[in-house]
């Protein structure tokens, strides 16, 4: 049996729910198919497990950064700022394409009033990984400078002076690439490119160039704090490795 809803079933969940209720009321094992039903099932399955996926990614990332930075504070800051980058990109997507502030002016395209279900996942995967790469570049250099000088201020100056040009240049190249991608006629690609370009630009300027050094400066010696049992664990591994070599 075919059903042709008056409203858009892809955005009107009430229509799809009523159709499914009517199909189930007929008895038997009746199912509702089609793009709207498939899209709703996809969103339910993928985004229903998204909090678990996000939590696992954050946990694993945090543990790896604790080992890399030899600190329990810096990895926490990195994870929070990376989440801020992704959240800012989502905000731009909502403002431009869902609310319509700029889609008509820039692309002469009517706002979609909704975001394609795959795009938030793509934006999250790309931006979280990329911004974490930038964070590792910067903070590894700061850690080296702090180990050499014992000064947080010198660590910030040395870290930003050695990595700032690299991070900014890489971010600018990617930003321009996604700006070019946003010029294609396909609306879904424009939406994705808008989120990625905005996220990269905000991450490289406001977050990496401003918030990262500012927070490191504010936290002072707490940046480098590591519990004694973790210090013993890491130093023990280093000694064992050296002995084996």
pLDDT of residue 7: 57
Contact residues for 111 (Cβ-Cβ < 8 A; gap 6+): 96, 97, 98, 99, 100, 103, 104
CA 107 – CA 110 distance, rounded (Å): 9
| Residue 44 sits in the same domain as residue 55 | no
Least confident of 19-28, 89-98, 128-137, 163-172: 19-28
For residue 35, what are the domain limits? 1-48
Residues 62 and 141 grouped into a single domain: yes
Distance between CA 101 and CA 92 in Å, rounded?
Answer: 9
Question: Nearest 10 degrees: CA dihedral of 204, 201, 132, 98?
Answer: 150
Together in a domain, 5 and 77: no
34/150 same-domain check: no
Q: Do 91 and 68 sit in the same domain of this protein?
A: yes
The answer on 66 and 29 residing in a single domain is no
pLDDT value, residue 91:
95
Q: What gap in Å lies between CA 69 and CA 84, rounded to an integer?
A: 21
| Judgement on whether residues 44 and 70 belong to the same structural domain of the protein | no
Residue 10 has pLDDT above 60, yes or no: no
Is the separation of the CB atoms in 198 and 92 below 8 Å? yes
Instruction: Give residue-wise pLDDT tens across range 77-107.
Output: 999 999 999 999 999 999 999 998 988 888 8
CATH of the domain at 142: 1.20.1640.10
Look at residue 245 and tell me if it is in a domain: no
Residue ranges of alpha helices (H) inside the chain are: 13-25, 35-48, 50-69, 74-93, 103-107, 118-149, 152-181, 187-202, 212-219, 228-244
- Measured in residues, the chain has a length of 245
Tell me whether residue 66 is in a domain.
Answer: yes
């Amino acid at each position: 049996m075919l059903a042709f809803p008056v409203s858009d079933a892809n955005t009107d969940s009430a229509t799809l729910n009523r159709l499914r209720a009517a199909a189930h009321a007929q008895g038997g094992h009746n199912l509702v198919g089609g793009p709207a039903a498939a899209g709703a099932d996809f969103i339910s399955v993928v985004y229903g497990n998204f909090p678990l996926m996000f939590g696992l990614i954050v946990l694993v990332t945090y543990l790896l950064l604790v080992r890399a930075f030899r600190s329990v504070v810096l990895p926490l800051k990195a994870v929070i700022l990376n989440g801020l980058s992704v959240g800012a990109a989502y905000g731009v997507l909502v403002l431009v394409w869902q609310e319509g502030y700029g889609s008509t002016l820039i692309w002469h395209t009517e706002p979609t009033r909704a975001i394609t279900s795959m795009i938030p996942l793509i934006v999250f995967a790309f931006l979280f990984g990329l911004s974490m790469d930038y964070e590792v570049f910067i903070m590894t250099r700061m850690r080296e400078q702090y180990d050499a000088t014992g000064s947080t201020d010198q660590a910030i100056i040395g870290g930003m002076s050695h990595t700032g040009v690299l991070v900014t240049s890489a971010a600018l190249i990617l930003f321009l690439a996604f700006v070019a991608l946003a010029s294609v006629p396909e609306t879904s690609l424009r939406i994705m490119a808008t989120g990625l370009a905005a996220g990269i630009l905000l991450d490289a300027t406001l977050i990496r160039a401003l918030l990262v050094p500012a927070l490191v400066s504010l936290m002072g010696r707490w940046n480098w704090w590591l519990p004694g049992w973790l210090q013993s664990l890491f130093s023990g591994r280093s000694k064992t490795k050296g002995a084996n070599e």
